[in-house]
Amino acid sequence: MAVHVVLYQPEIPANTGNIARTCAATGVPLHLIRPLGFSTDDKMLKRAGLDYWEFVDIHYYDSLDDFFEKNKGNMYYLSKFGTQDHAKFDYSDLEQDHYFLFGKETTGLPKDLIQSNIDRCLRIPMNDHVRSLNLSNTAAILVYEALRQQGFPGLH
């Protein structure tokens, strides 16, 4: 698969649930880096109405280091401090994996990770009236931009 969503220590179950729905609808794998701010056991998922969870290709990691050891490809870091327009990158190569890393809702990605990868820190253009978009909206924008560039493989 060429497009991946990575959530670093997500805190809000509704955001992760919405992102999981986008992943289920598009066939995009979801990577979750612990600790999570909620439970993903069957009882909790059913109560939240996440009946599509079984259709998500989901991977769990105990740390960022664990994630990076097991995954290689183009890494893109979403941050309010990002300086690169998300639409200026080429995600069209279906042979290459493209990982979109999103941080915690409250604190984002670790500052040292942002600083050492500033040339791959993306931002979605917006005005100055809000500081950021909702995490699940941002993930959907990125997933669909990458899939659009790839010709929406496997989707109809």
Alpha-carbon span 9 to 113, nearest angstrom:
14
State the DSSP code for 15.
Answer: H
Residue pair 91/97 in contact (Cβ under 8 Å)? The answer is no
64 is in an annotated binding site: no
142 is in an annotated binding site: no
Alpha-carbon span 41 to 52, nearest angstrom:
14
Tokens of 78: 């979403």
58 is in an annotated binding site: no
Q: CB neighbours (10 Å) of residue 111?
A: 12
Residue pair 31/71 in contact (Cβ under 8 Å)? The answer is yes
Place of tokens 């659009």: 148
CA atoms 41, 45, 50, 51: torsion sign = positive
33 is in an annotated binding site: no
Binding-site residues, in ranges, read: 78, 103, 124, 132
Binding-site residues for S-adenosyl-L-methionine, in ranges, read: 78, 103, 124, 132
